[in-house]
Chain A
Amino acid sequence: MKSIVVASGKGGTGKTTITALFTAIASRRLRVAVVDADVEASNLPLALSAKNVSCTPFPGGRRAEIDENVCVGCGLCAQTCRFDAITEGIYGVFVVDPFACEGCGRCAMVCSRGAVVMKPTTAGKACVGESVIGPIAFGQLGPGEDLSGKLVTEVRNLGHRAAVQHRAEVILIDGPPGIGCPLTAAIAGTHVVIAIAEPTASGAHDLDRLAGVAARLGLPVRVVLNKADLSADGASRIREVCNARNLPVIAEIPFDTVFAHSAMALGAGTSGLVADGSPSLRAATRAWQAVESELGLVT
């Protein structure tokens, strides 16, 4: 089973749309499973109409709470906290900002009155369901929660199990934006990273940083230039990055509003759109064929 991750440093370059279309194209010949590894803004289940979804809560770290009836207001906890999460409240007792607490428990350890309690939290949920194409795993981080990287790993594990049951030949992973912890969790151990770049000043800068992370993890990167005709200047900036880093561009997809609509149409079951094809859909098909042949998925 080959795993392919679609990523981009910059957000909104077309990762989800392209993942959905790749899935549709691939599923004509191969058994496919999909994973949405963007747990902060999970959109692939919308594009592929996930049904029969079952979710399990994903435990977060612990979080400090101060019992106002026990706290004597000495402030040792606030002095000890490295995350500025504890401040003096209005009644001379100390309070924890749940959004700043990282759950280390140091405050609970130093409090001589035992007024600090470390409470378990739920960081989000990990889900698995059926899409129009095959099994789909995804997650949703609770608003403001930590640990999105760990939730990504959990979602990938769920997706892998579903893929094995489905006897999938390919797992397609829709990655999160950025180059931090969630992105690293999404791309680690995959066979190839498909970087979706847009021809903007921002796009070139963010592609370069993504390629840097992938290189550190020893992962091959293939580039799809999306909205390619938006700016000739922007497109040449992308090509410069690709040349400098020796990254093959496997397709250039023209800017086309039909394209985004086709991904949504997949969910409604009108996947015939992909076959009929505008220039953008044909370019996406070529990109997928390049991935297939490179990974030896062509029989």
Chain B
Amino acid sequence: MYAGSRKGTPLAFVLAVASGKGGTGKTLVATNISALAAAHLERVVLVDCDVEAPNDHLFFSSVEATNVRVEVPVAKVDPSLCRACGRCRDACSFGAIRVLRGSAVVFEELCHGCGTCMDVCPRHAVHEVPRPVGEVVVGPVAGHDRLVLVTGRLYVGEVKSTSVIRSARSAARAITADLVVIDAPPGVGCSTVAAIRGVDALLLVAEPTPFGLHDLELSLELGLKLQLPMGVVVNREVGASDEIDSLCKEKGVPIVARIPFDRRIAETYARGELLTDTLPAVSEILAGLPEAMRALASREVVEQ
């Protein structure tokens, strides 16, 4: 049945929800399709990878969540061993080491934790210490059997979003599931890539505005570069969206759903509620999305 995932739990279909522009409706789509799929007897893991602004948890109340700190290794120099030779500084590709007052000093925010400086230090004066940059919260969701929420959260003041995203995804892989839904951060940079790399299919949420069109084009470009099977959801549609339609046609990416502009959707979302109870018609549009994306992904596998 399933296209099969390249990585992770056997049988789990991994679907990422992303967009270049912020606020197009990623969280709306990701939370609602997860809850709907779980209601249809699928074991679902929803992974909030928008670690700078994680909001999925606001739509659910989780029970008995476990909280694991995300730590990244950063280099630390022991000044009593360091002879200020500068080899670590010269080897560092990130400009994270300076030599000041007779000892090398590491600027932790710039350190990627690659370990190169430890390799080159002739006096073994460099070691690594863990730096907490965020947390991953995992827990079942009250009122939604079979749904597990994994939330990645970057600590305020930290910048290593990608480390938190990778940790959230690896926590999700440890859970047996039929469907994994990843709520990706906005943009097309390294954070988005960390969230969507190696997924089975990519669902792009676009709004039919000049800004939305421009940013959808960038997202499509990224998806094509990563060779991911893609589908587009047009959100807040008012009348026809000719420009989005022709862009998708040009790129050979199907539009898999259209959500009409409806103030009630915005109001429901604003309250932190799912659409299931208040707007069954819209729920129906979203309920079919995982299946549509599975079909799309398996078609691409056959074609290859």
- A residues adjacent to B (C-beta < 8 A): 9-13, 16, 39-41, 43, 46-47, 61-62, 80, 82-83, 99-100, 102-106, 109-110, 140-141, 143-149, 176-184, 198-203, 205-206, 209, 212-213, 216, 227, 230-231, 233-234, 255, 260, 264
Contact = CB atoms under 8 A, between A and B. Distances in A.
Interface in B8-51: 20-24, 27
Nearest to B120: A109
A41 B21 CA distance: 6
B159 A180 contact: yes
A219 B58 CA distance: 28
Contacts of A230: 263, 266-267, 270
Interface string B63-88: 00000000001000000000000000
B214 A43 contact: yes
Interface string B199-212: 00000000001110
Contacts of A149: 159
B271 interface: yes
B62 to A, nearest CB: 15
A106 B115 CA distance: 8
B178 interface: no
A41 B20 contact: yes
B272 A144 contact: no
Nearest to A82: B114
Contacts of A83: 114
A138 to B, nearest CB: 12
A180 B115 contact: no
B229 interface: no
B280 interface: no
Contact of A201 (B21, B23, B58, B115): B58
Interface of B: 20-24, 27, 52-53, 55, 58-59, 73, 91, 93-94, 112-116, 119-120, 154, 156-159, 161, 185-193, 197, 209-211, 214-215, 218, 221-222, 225-226, 263, 266-267, 269-272
B22 to A, nearest CB: 1
A82 to B, nearest CB: 5
Contacts of B190: 144-148
B112 A200 contact: no
A143 B211 contact: no
8 contacts: A11-B22, A62-B93, A100-B197, A140-B218, A200-B270, A201-B272, A209-B156, A233-B271
B188 A143 contact: yes
Contacts of B218: 40-41, 140, 143
Given A11-B53, A40-B188, A202-B55, 12 more contacts: A9-B52, A9-B53, A10-B53, A40-B218, A141-B188, A143-B221, A143-B225, A198-B270, A200-B270, A209-B156, A213-B156, A260-B209
Given A148-B189, A181-B161, A213-B157, A103 B271 contact: no
Q: Which of B20, B52, B210 has the most CB of A within 10 A?
A: B52
A102 B55 contact: no
Q: Which of A16, A47, A177, A199 has the most CB of B within 10 A?
A: A177
Nearest to B185: A178
Contacts of B53: 9-11, 177-179, 202, 205-206, 209
A40 B20 contact: yes
B210 A200 contact: no
Contacts of A183: 52
Nearest to B215: A41
Nearest to B269: A200
Nearest to B225: A143
B270 A201 contact: yes
Contacts of B22: 10-13, 41, 177
A11 B23 contact: yes
Given A41-B215, A104-B112, A109-B116, A202 B58 contact: yes
Contacts of A227: 266
Nearest to A123: B189
Nearest to B164: A180
A60 B164 CA distance: 23
B270 A231 contact: yes
Contact of A99 (B23, B112, B193): B193
Contacts of B119: 106, 109-110
Nearest to B161: A180
